[in-house]
Amino acid sequence: MTLPKAVKIVEVGPRDGLQNESAFVASSIKIELIERLATAGCRHIEATSFVSPRKIPQLADAAEVMRAIRRAPEVTYSALTPNLKGFEAAMDAGANEIAVFAAASETFSRKNINCSTEESLTRFEPVLDAAKRAGVRARAYVSCALGCPYEGEIAPAAVTRVAERLFNQGCYEISLGDTIGVGTPLAAKRMIEAVAEKIPLENLAGHFHDTYGMAAANVWAALEMGMAVFDSSVGGLGGCPYAPGAAGNLATEDLAWLMQGSGVETGLDLPKLVDCANWISGVLGREAVSRVARALKKL
């Protein structure tokens, strides 16, 4: 078995990790979190989301946060932009990459964004066209790639259809999301194999939630197949407001530990990452859920 020599880790904590917090997290804390992550070696940080404040009140300060970050030149600061208005606001605030999202589950799509999957893909066309004209790279997420809270198991063919459409619309990287964390290594491999028949593996990423403790195992399965891009969230923060019972994302420090022990380069400074996880978890009034942060804190 030959593993990739290095992986790209996309840190989604400032957006996906914080968006469901019930108590508003101060803009200054969000800014400090992003800056701490950059100091810990994160080179791809999803900083915020330019969506309606009514839908995601936690990220109502998106423009303020994006403008105030002290930028590290080697870091990509991206933002989720589901519509043209959001894209324009993100550009004005200084985002240098955008992301869009669609679901492989029709029911999830309707409950999440009140439209069908096909309608959501159509809505993204002007956003992706605008990004192309502006010379801004666009990334995409495919939700429910390994299961849906309403429909149950999702066929790999359904994931492939959505992923291929987004790739053909101009998204350079497609992140395949196990939104409710029900995936297992074998299911993950089957899904990735199906998608990789239509999209080059180097343009695919894994986004695994840890509801049943399978996130790291699913990363390993994907890594064995040659996947070299993974999303994670510092401290294991996050979840999905439209997926009842879904636990947080794979913790970035757990992912970094796995890669470090496997001889795969991440560019991350693990002690600084653990410090960041413990800090933000303390700010939010709880202990970091990641195993690595808890273990190293006791040493």
Strand spans (E) along 30-131: 44-49, 76-80, 97-103
Residue 299 has pLDDT above 80, yes or no: no
How many helical (H) and strand (E) elements, i.e. helices and strands, does the chain have?
11, 8
CA distance 79 to 56: 14
Tens of pLDDT, residues 173-198 = 999 999 999 999 999 999 999 999 99
Note the pTM of the prediction, 2 decimals: 0.95
Domain range 8-298, its CATH number among 3.30.450.20, 3.40.50.10320, 3.20.20.70, 3.30.710.10: 3.20.20.70
Tens of pLDDT, residues 114-144 = 889 999 999 999 999 999 999 999 999 999 9
CB contact at 8 A, 178 and 209: yes
pLDDT of residue 247: 58
Every domain of the chain and the residues it spans: 8-298
Tens of pLDDT, residues 32-41 = 999 999 999 9
Enumerate the active-site residues: 240
